[in-house]
Amino acid sequence: MNSSGQSYQHTIQDEISISGAGIHTGQSVTMRIKPAAPNTGINFQRVDLPGKPIVKADVDFVVETNRSTTLENNGARVSTIEHLMAALVGMQVDNALIEIDGEEVPILDGSAQPFVEALQKAGLQEQNAVKIYYNIEHNITFSDEEKKVEMVALPYNEYRINTLIDFNSPVLGTQHAAIKNIADFNTSIAPCRTFCFFHELEWLLAHNLIKGGDINNAIVVVDKEVSEEQVERISKVFNKKDVQISSEGILNNLELRFPNEPARHKLLDVIGDLALVGYPFKAHIIANRPGHASNVKFAKKIKEHIKKYKNRQEVPKYDPNKPAILNVQQIEQVLPHRYPFLLVDKVIELTEKVVVAIKNVTYNEPFFQGHFPNNSIMPGVLQVEALAQAGGFLAIPRDTEDKYDTYFLKIENCKFKQKVIPGDTLILKMELLQPIRRGICEMKGTIFVGDKIVTEATLVAQIVKRPKA
């Protein structure tokens, strides 16, 4: 977030490489995390496959949730992505390309901490694209009675999560974990490692899972009576000696980093799986007994909700009671246009990269006399002109006595979605797509009436200094 209070998207500054074994496949893989363009999101690329296919980190492409979360698209499959996705959310990386030469993301120490440390080393790069957070309009709930799972997303002005786990285990008992601000992720959640129960290990091995399992990358909870023979067999599988059960019911492979580390790791998984919603959103998430399958189903419900209300939430907030940043007299000091061709009444938001202006359309507009008489519709070309005039406040240098004109060079992807009629209040939003170079300005323009998009286009203009009289 910059000094204007506007949030912008981020990628990483430098490419990073991470290698290790996948916990289930046992395959040694190398990942290269690279910077990516704005609005591209997180994408995995299987560089070991013909054509190097890409699969987007999106809930629509989840194909499996057995012990981890797996994506598949374009013939590419990538599994155990949740810890890396959680680290990207915690580091607030919006766009990245992850090249991987195998099917499974390396497990490393079973937490998100190694990924966070690598991303911190790479550094963040702010991008020329606004980051839009979507709000939850009403409670979104998910439940699975058989698994006793309950999840809810509540409207909230930040991203907050509470998790509760209860495995009917005398060792773990009931555990709770919470994060009130995503900024706390790196210290309080990222270090927390995955866990499993001792009695699950033999089942996992019998089903060809945890081939890359190592006694150092998971907390092993022993909550049922086990024989010395079972402990010895597991010891041989992991090539470890002197494996014992501690008094706390944890295999003596490692010490807990937090008393409630298992609950915190479940919260980590929730963050990683909900990252697949594909839109940054704010909500208070409460998850009771979450798991990958439930997280993914819940993520799909949140995504459906955001898509339904998406356009409404992108509308700039216009409060006519608030004083304008620039009134019409001040606008005339910047723009060369005058009545009847001045199509901006006031400016309500102005940063280096975004401007929002207002045009009140009345029945007395001169163009209504000859444009479809008795069927008053504002000409589309004048709507685009209004956008261009608003964009002038991004393009024309301020704090100078020099006067400038702006000229169209190109109009692309122009769409008129709704009629504009007398009585409409146009909210004109222009966003700078690229830094201005050599007087060339590329902007994305959107016109809203109420909560509906009526017009959108990409405009390229040239700024020319006006000769002095």
pLDDT of residue 315: 82
Q: Does position 417 have pLDDT exceeding 60, yes or no?
A: yes
pLDDT of residue 468: 76
- CB under 8 Å to 178, separation ≥6 — which residues? 160, 161, 162, 163, 267
Assigned token pair, 365: 């507009």
- CB under 8 Å to 196, separation ≥6 — which residues? 204, 218, 219, 220, 221
Q: Does position 239 have pLDDT exceeding 80, yes or no?
A: no
Assigned token pair, 395: 């393009």
Residue pair 76/98 in contact (Cβ under 8 Å)? The answer is no
- Torsion angles phi and psi, residue 231, rounded to 5: -65, -40
Residue pair 166/291 in contact (Cβ under 8 Å)? The answer is no
- CB under 8 Å to 98, separation ≥6 — which residues? 31, 32, 33, 34, 42, 43, 44, 45, 84
Q: DSSP labels for 363-407?
A: TT-GGGGTSSTTS----HHHHHHHHHHHHHHHHSPSS-S--EEEE
- The sign of the torsion formed by the CA atoms of 41, 42, 48, 50 equals negative
pLDDT digits (tens, 9 = 90+) for 28-70: 999 999 999 999 999 999 999 999 999 999 999 999 998 799 9
pLDDT of residue 4: 42
Distance CA(466)–CA(402), nearest Å, equals 7
pLDDT of residue 207: 64
DSSP conformation class of 316:
P
Assigned token pair, 440: 């060339």
Catalytic option among 10, 24, 265, 292 = 292
Which range of 75-79, 334-338, 436-440, 465-469 scores highest in mean pLDDT? It is: 75-79
Q: Does position 255 have pLDDT exceeding 90, yes or no?
A: no
Assigned token pair, 241: 């000696």
Q: Does position 167 have pLDDT exceeding 70, yes or no?
A: no
Average pLDDT over residues 167-193: 87
Distance CA(379)–CA(343), nearest Å, equals 12
Domains of the chain, earliest start first: 8-192+260-314 (3.30.230.20), 328-465 (3.10.129.10)
pLDDT of residue 2: 43
Give the CA distances from residue 379 to residues 369, 382, 430, 460, in Å, rounded to whole numbers and listed in that order. 12, 5, 19, 20
Among 52-61, 75-84, 171-180, the minimum mean pLDDT is found in: 171-180
Rounded to a whole number of angstroms, the CA Rg of the chain reads 28
pLDDT of residue 3: 36
Count CA atoms closer than 13 A to 27's CA, side-chain side: 15
Q: Does position 280 have pLDDT exceeding 80, yes or no?
A: yes
- Cα dihedral 41, 21, 248, 149 in deg (nearest 10): 40
Average pLDDT over residues 355-375: 92
Distance CA(199)–CA(220), nearest Å, equals 9
Among 78-82, 247-251, 421-425, 437-441, the minimum mean pLDDT is found in: 247-251
Known catalytic residue: 83?
no
% of the chain residues with pLDDT over 70: 84
Among 150-159, 193-202, 290-299, 366-375, the minimum mean pLDDT is found in: 193-202
Average pLDDT over residues 290-299: 96
Q: DSSP labels for 71-132?
A: EEETTEEEE--HHHHHHHHHTT---EEEEESSSB---TTSSSHHHHHHHHHH-EEEEEEE-P
C-beta neighbour count of 159 within 10 angstroms: 21
Helix, coil or strand: residue 237: helix
Distance CA(192)–CA(218), nearest Å, equals 10
Known catalytic residue: 176?
no
Q: DSSP labels for 423-468?
A: T-EEEEEEEE-S--BTTEEEEEEEEEETTEEEEEEEEEEEEEEPPP
- Torsion angles phi and psi, residue 282, rounded to 5: -115, 135
Strand-pair category, 346-350 with 354-360: antiparallel
Distance CA(308)–CA(199), nearest Å, equals 44
> What mean pLDDT is reported for the chain?
88
Q: Does position 208 have pLDDT exceeding 90, yes or no?
A: no
Helix, coil or strand: residue 224: coil
Supply the pTM of this predicted model: 0.71
Quickly state the pLDDT bin for 78 (edges 50, 70, 90).
very high
